[in-house]
Structure 1
C-alpha cells in the first residue's frame, strides 16, 4: 500500500477537541504541524515505510504551559468514511510519561464543507 500523506489532515477520532494536524511528505520524510483545543502548538517529524506506516517523534505545548514530548508508530487502516484511519501507538517521555493507543481520522472534504 503506497500512501502519500502530503496535504492530508487528521484529528483524533471521535473527539471534538479541535486539534487538527496537516501532514507534509517528501519521499519517505513526513512532518506535520498541529494546534487547537488545549494544544497551543505541536509538531511531528518522522519517516513513512513502504506500507504507509509512520514512525514519528512529536512535541507539543499545551495551554497551561506543559511541554510534552514522545514518539509514535502510526499504522494506516481504511476509515469508515472513505478516508484513512491511523492506529497510533504512542509513548510520552519525562514528567508526563505514559503509553497508549489512539486513532486519528482523516478530515475529508465532506466534513469540511458539511
Structure 2
C-alpha cells in the first residue's frame, strides 16, 4: 500500500533506480541522482544500458515533476523525450515515481515505468 503525496517534495540529494528487474543488465540498472533548487529539478543518471543521461524540469504540484530528458545508450543511440513523474510514498517512507514518458524521434514511443528511491544507507545493488 502506498500513500498519496500532498504538498511538495524535496528531491535534492535523492537517488532513484528502476523498480523493474527487466531494465537491469549485467552491469545493473541506471541510477539517477537528483538535485533541486526551488521548483527546478535536474538529475544525471547512468548504469546498465545508459552510458550517460540527464533530465531537467520543474516540480509542478503535489510533488509531481514535468521533465525532459536526453541520454546516450551503450549502442551509441541518442534518445530524448519528455516525462511526467507522479510520486507515491512507500510504506517504508521511500518515494516511488510513476513515469509517464514519451520518447521522441527515431523509435518514438510512449510508456509507463516506475523508479524507486534508493535508501541512503541501503544496499547499492
* Aligned pair partner of 1:99 in 85, 107, 110: 110
* TM-score (ref. length: structure 1): 0.93
Q: Which residue number corresponds to residue 4 of structure 2?
A: none
Mean CA deviation greater in 102-111 or 53-62: 102-111
Cα RMSD for the two superposed structures: 1.6
| Structure with higher helix content | 1
Runs of 4+ in 1 over 4 A off after TM superposition: none
Q: Which residue number corresponds to residue 45 of structure 1?
A: 56
Q: Larger relative CO (CA 8 A, sep 6+): 1 or 2? A: 2
Q: Which residue number corresponds to residue 9 of structure 1?
A: 15
Aligned residues: 114
Flag structure 1 segments of 5+ consecutive residues without an equivalent.
none
Alignment of 1:79-98 (within 5 A): 79-98=90-109
* TM-score (ref. length: structure 2): 0.85
Flag structure 2 segments of 5+ consecutive residues without an equivalent.
1-6
